[in-house]
Structure 1
C-alpha cells in the first residue's frame, strides 16, 4: 500500500455547484480511488459528484511567490468596478 499513488479527492455537494477538496487517499489506480473516495467521503449521501486527481498532477504556487505571482493584477485597474462611472438614476446594478 505504501507504493500506491496518492489521490486528491473533490466532492460536489447536493446544494453546491463547485467541487470542494475533502481529503486524500492512496489507491492503486483511478478506478479504485473513485470507489474508495465514495466509501470514505460520501457515506451520508451528501455528494452528487466525485473527482479523483493524482496528487503529482497538481501544480500550486508557493506562499513565498505571492508578490511575483499576484502583483501584476494591481496594475489592471479596469478589472475593478470602481474604474467605471455609474450613470445617475441607475437604481439596480
Structure 2
C-alpha cells in the first residue's frame, strides 16, 4: 500500500547513477510528509552542523521533532530545518573552481 523510494548517502555524496547505494523505484505515497534536513548549533559552536533528517508535516513540526530527537540535556541553542528538496549540492569534480 505504501510506496517509498529510499537511498542512503553519506556526507559529501552526490546522488549519481553510479554512486552506489540501492534504490527502490516505487513511487512515493501522495500523503507522505516531506523530508527535512536538521542543523543544530551547540553552545560552544559558532556554526550549525548537519545532524540528520526527519519527516514532518511542516517546518514547525520539524523543529519540534528535531528538538526531541537530536538535542539532549539542552545541548543545542539553535535549530535550523530545511526541506530536503531545496538543498542543492556542488559537484565534487568542480571542487578546484571553488
- TMscore range, shorter length: 0.5 to 0.7
Instruction: Establish whether residue 47 from structure 1 lines up as the match of residue 57 from structure 2.
Output: no
Q: Which runs of 5+ in 2 are unaligned?
A: 1-28
Structure 2 residue aligned with 1:62: 91
Q: Distance in 2 between matches of 1:30 and 1:43?
A: 20
**Structure 1-normalised TM-score?**
0.67
Q: Which has the higher helix share?
A: 1
Q: Which contiguous aligned blocks of 4+ residues in structure 1 show a shift greater than 3 angstroms?
A: none
Between the two proteins, the alignment pairs up a number of residues equal to 68
Q: Which runs of 5+ in 1 are unaligned?
A: 74-93
**Structure 2-normalised TM-score?**
0.64
- Structure showing greater radius of gyration is 1
